[in-house]
Amino acid sequence: MTFGNKGWHKWVIDDKQKSYKILKRAYDLGLRTYDTADLYSNGQSEIIILGEFLKEYNISRETVVIMTKLFAPVDDTLPDYQPTGGLHGNQTIHFANQRGLSKKHIIEACKNSLRRLGTYIDVYQVHRADPDTPMEETMRALNDVVQQGLTRYIGASSMLGTKFAEYQFIAEKNGWSKFVNMQDCYNLLYREEEREMIPYIKKHGIAQTPWSPLQRGLLSRPVEGSSYREDNDRVLKGQRLNQYEDFEIEIIKRVEEISKKRNNPMAVISTAWVLSKGTFPILGLNSVERMEDAVRALNIELTEEELKYLEEPYKPKKLVQ
């Protein structure tokens, strides 16, 4: 999501060489699983991050894992179209069959991602559940792209635990490929996944690769702080994530307190907490320095007292799905 076209989000890095430098440093540090989506920058993220990056450094395909996603309408032949801007006028007709989780869209979206990436997909994920398409149609189509060798595995992103379990049940009943990964929102400020989703995926041996482990950067700085991304993040403002509730302020202050005691950035402490839950968080890193901070989190083991202290103020929130 970090790399692509500023027309999608102002905070996106559109300098290819800078993007390559960050990705190469990640590769050298052993961070070799790259997550993207056709939605990001209207397809440009898939091209820049992976299709061109791997060729730039002549990196062996077998040394990396590529994950991408589908759901939203995407058309990289329309340079001025941005998927997050909503559909207007003739776009509604143009994209009628290019969204959701129908068999037609899954197969076409997968082929388009393959074209942009220039290689096969390791984990092909549904970005959200689709209430307008029968679940059997979705899971059969996903099984088809696995059987055709277009992707090795399939996964899912944010949805209700009951929806995820139902998709899995349908696949198992029919002998189709099941989801091997759940990519959900999970961090110190959003822990609703602990109620149903996490117990389910742990019981069934499904990996968890949470997105937004720093809650769009809010867990990486003091409450009174700000960043270029926060000032220009439409999603953060639209969902009012930076309009803190009292318990969120307390959590951020506690992260800051432990950060000072540990002599490590707040982002390292917040990431260490997510790692302590047995997850593999997705990190949107916009500099080599932040990349190296992320790796430092792997060597931070929070004590039971620190974990309890960070978690104690949390209160239930509206579900992300």
Question: Could you read off the pLDDT of 163-219 as tens digits, one per residue?
Answer: 999 999 999 999 999 999 999 999 999 999 999 999 999 999 999 999 999 998 899
**DSSP one-letter string for 127-176:** SS--TTS-HHHHHHHHHHHHHTTSEEEEEEES--HHHHHHHHHHHHHHT-
Say what percent of the chain tops pLDDT 90.
64
Q: How far apart are CA 114 and CA 233, in angstroms?
A: 29
Question: Could you read off the pLDDT of 88-130 as tens digits, one per residue?
Answer: 556 665 666 667 999 999 999 999 999 999 999 999 999 999 9
Question: 26 pLDDT exceeds 70?
Answer: yes
Question: What pLDDT band is residue 238 in, cutting at 50, 70 and 90?
Answer: very low
Question: What pLDDT band is residue 222 in, cutting at 50, 70 and 90?
Answer: very high
User: How is the chain split into domains, by residue range?
Assistant: 1-5+16-183, 218-320
Least confident of 1-5, 29-33, 159-163, 267-271: 1-5
40 is catalytic: yes
The better pLDDT of the pair 109, 2 is held by: 109
Residue type, 298: L
pLDDT of residue 225: 63
pTM for the full predicted model: 0.87
Q: How far apart are CA 20 and CA 2, in angstroms?
A: 12
pLDDT of residue 22: 87
Domain 1-5+16-183, CATH class in plain words:
alpha beta
181 phi and psi, to 5 degrees? -150, 145
pLDDT of residue 83: 56
pLDDT of residue 192: 97
Task: Determine the 3-state secondary structure of 122 from DSSP.
Answer: strand
pLDDT of residue 267: 94
Least confident of 18-22, 32-36, 199-203: 18-22
Q: How far apart are CA 265 and CA 294, in angstroms?
A: 10
pLDDT of residue 99: 78
Q: How far apart are CA 297 and CA 309, in angstroms?
A: 18
Question: Could you read off the pLDDT of 295-316 as tens digits, one per residue?
Answer: 899 999 999 999 999 999 999 9
Question: What pLDDT band is residue 320 in, cutting at 50, 70 and 90?
Answer: confident
Q: How far apart are CA 229 and CA 12, in angstroms?
A: 9
Least confident of 34-38, 131-135, 247-251: 34-38
Which region, left, alpha or beta, applies to residue 58 given φ > 0 means left and ψ of -120 to 50 means alpha?
left
| Closest by CA position to 225, among listed 192, 261, 189, 252 | 252
Instruction: Give me the residues paired with residue 66 across strands.
Output: 34
- The chain-wide mean pLDDT, for the chain, equals 87
Say what percent of the chain tops pLDDT 70.
82
Question: Could you read off the pLDDT of 126-143 as tens digits, one per residue?
Answer: 999 999 999 999 999 999
Q: Which residue in 27, 34, 40, 228 is the catalytic one?
A: 40
Q: Are 320 and 190 in contact (CB under 8 A)?
A: yes
